[in-house]
């Protein structure tokens, strides 16, 4: 029997549900959930009206860590992280290194019942195994955030081509932005974190990001001036900046585009339904580029797990665990942004 909490409607309390374990087909695993992170995407479904691909009712949750308890013998008993994006593995996009945007992909808590449950049934093709030695330092549930909050910024930093000595400007350093700041720092880049919340800036300083700027009381012109000043003081040139928009807000995206200069690269990671008015001719004039990113290719997960294991990416100070039965309280708090830490929901025994 699988027990969990399903979404039945927008802003409607998630309701407890039980259902029988389905018959497992070849290539499918039954995973006992150790923990499932609460992502902004889950809140977007539940509170902001973003539609799920599977009709409601649906168990949400796509940041899943757990143990395979049934399925292929090669996976049974293994501790795993379930990638938030599960591609098909054989389409043109998958064959050409773009598996993260496979159009046949499946996503837990969107295409099928997700991780806010005792168990989840998922394709096993791209499960990411957790090394046993890692569990001497982490609870398996701690690692759930790797499935999206850590892996998504890892992919975009790699995709943008960030290198040592580059100037990286991160806009919005709560949530995934906090991990993006750590990953950008790993490359040896000169990293500047922008946010309107001093608490979030203090968090990134605690993981070694020395350059921060609170933009709350500045207009775009004032921010550009400050960023240019910080770049000069840091010994980096005015060209080829790498800009990362992580806030998922109209204001953040407008600022990000305004900061894009000659030979620069803008990576859009945050999501908003709001529309912007921008001058695309800047891309021509500056020979600049704008790239998007969606999830993370499963083949990158081993690198992410390694970086968490050796301490280059810190997750423990920035997570908070709750019993799954408190899911409605946790969702309501997430809507109100009352905590800086990523909630992880733990199924009760």
Backbone torsions φ then ψ of 219, nearest 5 degrees: -85, 175
| pLDDT 10s digits, 18-62 | 999 999 999 999 999 999 999 989 999 999 999 999 999 999 999
Does residue 172 share a domain with residue 99?
no
How many domains would you assign to the chain? 2
> What is the pLDDT, as a whole number, of residue 164?
98
Pair 13, 143 in one domain: yes
Mean per-residue pLDDT, 74-91: 96
For residues 271 and 336, membership in a common domain is answered with no
Q: 61 with 140, same domain?
A: yes
Tens of pLDDT along 254-286?
999 999 999 999 999 998 889 999 999 999 999
CATH number, domain containing residue 263: 3.40.50.720
- What is the average pLDDT score of the chain? 96
Is 338 a residue whose pLDDT tops 90? no
Query: What domain range includes position 123?
Result: 2-148+296-346
Residue 349 confidence (pLDDT): 82
Q: Name which of 151, 171, 341, 154 is nearest 247 in CA terms.
A: 171
Q: What is the 3-state secondary structure (H, E, C) of 127-179?
A: CEECCHHHHHCCCHHHHHHHHCCCHHHHHHHHHHCCCCCCEEEEECCCCHHHH
State the DSSP string of 40-71. HHHHHHHTS-PPPSSPSSEE---EEEEEEEES
Report the CATH number that the domain containing residue 53 is assigned in CATH. 3.90.180.10
Q: Are residues 327 and 259 in the same domain?
A: no
Q: Distance (Å, rounded) from C-alpha 198 to C-alpha 209?
A: 14
For residue 31, give every residue at least 6 positions away whose Cβ sits within 8 Å of its Cβ, in sequence order, or none.
64, 66, 67, 68, 69, 80, 82, 119, 120, 121, 122
| Bridge partners (DSSP) listed for residue 323 | 346
- Does residue 332 sit in the same domain as residue 260? no
pLDDT tens for residues 212-264?
999 999 999 999 999 999 999 999 999 999 999 999 999 999 999 999 999 99
Q: pLDDT tens, 135-167?
A: 999 999 999 999 999 999 999 999 999 999 999
């Amino acid at each position: 029997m699988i027990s969990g909490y399903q979404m039945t409607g927008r802003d409607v309390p998630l309701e407890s549900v039980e259902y029988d374990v389905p018959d497992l087909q070849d290539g499918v695993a039954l995973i006992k959930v150790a923990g499932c992170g609460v992502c902004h995407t889950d809140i977007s479904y539940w509170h902001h009206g973003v539609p799920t691909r599977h009709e409601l009712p649906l168990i949400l949750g796509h940041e899943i860590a757990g143990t395979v308890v049934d399925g292929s013998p090669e996976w049974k008993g293994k501790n795993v992280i379930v990638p938030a994006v599960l591609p098909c593995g054989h389409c043109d996009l998958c064959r050409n290194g773009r598996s993260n945007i496979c159009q046949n992909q499946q996503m837990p808590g969107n295409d099928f019942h997700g991780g806010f449950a005792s168990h989840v049934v998922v394709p096993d093709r791209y499960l990411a195994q957790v090394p046993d030695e890692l569990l001497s330092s982490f609870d398996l549930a701690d690692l759930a955030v790797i499935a999206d909050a850590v892996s998504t910024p890892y992919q975009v930093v790699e995709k943008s081509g960030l290198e040592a000595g580059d100037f990286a400007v991160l806009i919005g350093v709560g949530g995934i932005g906090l991990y993006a700041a750590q990953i950008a720092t790993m490359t040896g880049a000169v990293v500047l974190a922008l946010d309107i919340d001093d608490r979030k800036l203090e968090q990134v300083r605690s993981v070694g990001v020395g350059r921060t700027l609170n933009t709350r009381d500045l207009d775009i012109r004032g921010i550009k001036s400050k960023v240019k000043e910080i770049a000069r003081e840091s010994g980096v040139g005015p060209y080829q900046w790498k800009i990362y928009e992580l806030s998922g807000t109209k204001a953040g995206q407008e600022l990000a585009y305004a900061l894009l200069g000659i030979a620069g690269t803008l990576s859009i990671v945050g999501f908003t339904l709001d529309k912007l008015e921008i001058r695309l001719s800047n891309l021509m004039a500056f020979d600049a580029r704008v790239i998007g990113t969606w999830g993370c290719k499963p083949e990158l997960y081993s690198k992410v797990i390694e970086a968490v294991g050796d301490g280059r990416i810190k997750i423990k100070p920035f997570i908070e665990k709750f019993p799954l039965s408190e899911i409605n309280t946790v969702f309501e708090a997430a809507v109100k942004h009352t905590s800086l830490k990523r909630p992880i929901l733990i199924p009760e025994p």
